[in-house]
């Protein structure tokens, strides 16, 4: 009973939030590195798409489809 009274009467430590509305903006270096990697992959994909766009053979068409899918996957992560 004494333990319960002590717990109820003890002052709580204040908690401080990043902001009043969860904005999702934090100084997370791992997240920044992942964003940079996604951007690099998107740029590489766009270069490959441009190079394959003029080709008419089946292999180039398949590679073009894969590069477009890869670009879209990384763009959706952003």
11-48, pLDDT tens digit by residue?
A: 666 655 556 666 666 667 888 899 999 999 999 999 99
Residue 14 lies in a domain: no
List the domain range (segments joined by +) for residue 37: 27-78
Residue 61 lies in a domain: yes
Residue 2 lies in a domain: no
Burial 16-34 (b: 16+ CB within 10 A, else e): eeeeeeeeeeeeeeeeeee
Domain count, the chain: 1
What's the pTM? 0.65
Residue 15 lies in a domain: no
Q: What is the pLDDT of residue 21?
A: 65
Residue 71 lies in a domain: yes
Q: What is the pLDDT of residue 32?
A: 87
CB 71, CB 44: distance < 8 Å: no
């Amino acid at each position: 009973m004494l333990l319960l009274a002590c717990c109820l009467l003890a002052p709580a430590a204040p908690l401080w939030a990043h902001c009043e509305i969860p904005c999702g903006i934090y100084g997370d270096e791992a997240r920044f590195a992942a964003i940079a990697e996604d951007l690099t992959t998107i740029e590489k994909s766009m270069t490959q798409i441009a190079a394959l766009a003029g080709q008419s053979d089946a292999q180039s068409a398949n590679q073009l489809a894969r590069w477009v899918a890869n670009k879209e996957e990384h763009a959706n992560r952003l």
